[in-house]
A and B are shown apart, each in its own frame.
Chain A
């Protein structure tokens, strides 16, 4: 089955630790995105990548980093510099710039 796979589904970390969220796709999408969703808030864009080896900051990139070494993979690292890392993280991809996004199942990160 084609799709976007995020892992793990739930992640628990202690404050001060970096953590990397995985996002893999087999849809051959050039563009991939990372969003964060907090209760009662909309989706906020963290980073996006339109092509391998290139990525751009979104609206809330501080405290996050990404890499795009291959088309299929777009991991997100939540660093200790992120002040409020507890959230629902969603990875998405799309085929063309006018196509809709397709999301992975999300990773729910809890930092205590």
Chain B
């Protein structure tokens, strides 16, 4: 089993739709979690951190479920500009505090 797993997609949704991505992780000692957005041939950009109580930033909501070891990202009222690859990152505890990256979920929002 991979340390961090994401459904690669692609997710094809119409404008205005609500779409949700999950990301599962295997190490229960994980300390912090993040969602990044990466556009084609660009660097990843931080979308949001994921807090234990869940957090919202405009149309984006992130949730953490430690019991089941997954994080989720919900996008409401999808825009064309939301089309990108969404990467989840898990920060493990330990001496090197390693960051483990998922392979990403591809989202295409269609007119």
Q: Do A and B come from one complex?
A: yes
Residues of A with Cβ closer than 8 Å to B? 33, 41-43, 45, 48, 56, 88, 90, 97-98, 100-106, 108
Is the contact region of chain B dominated by helix, strand, or loop, or is it mixed? strand
0/1 per residue, B74-100, Cβ < 8 Å to A? 000000000000010101000011110
Interface size on B, residues (CB 8 A): 22
Contact B102 A42 (CB under 8 A): yes
Known A42-B102, A42-B104, A97-B97: A90·B32 in contact at CB below 8 Å: no
Contact A98 B91 (CB under 8 A): yes
Contact B96 A104 (CB under 8 A): no
A60 to chain B, nearest CB (A): 13
Contact A90 B43 (CB under 8 A): yes
Query: Which of B44, B101, B103 gathers the greatest number of chain A CB atoms within 10 Å?
Result: B44
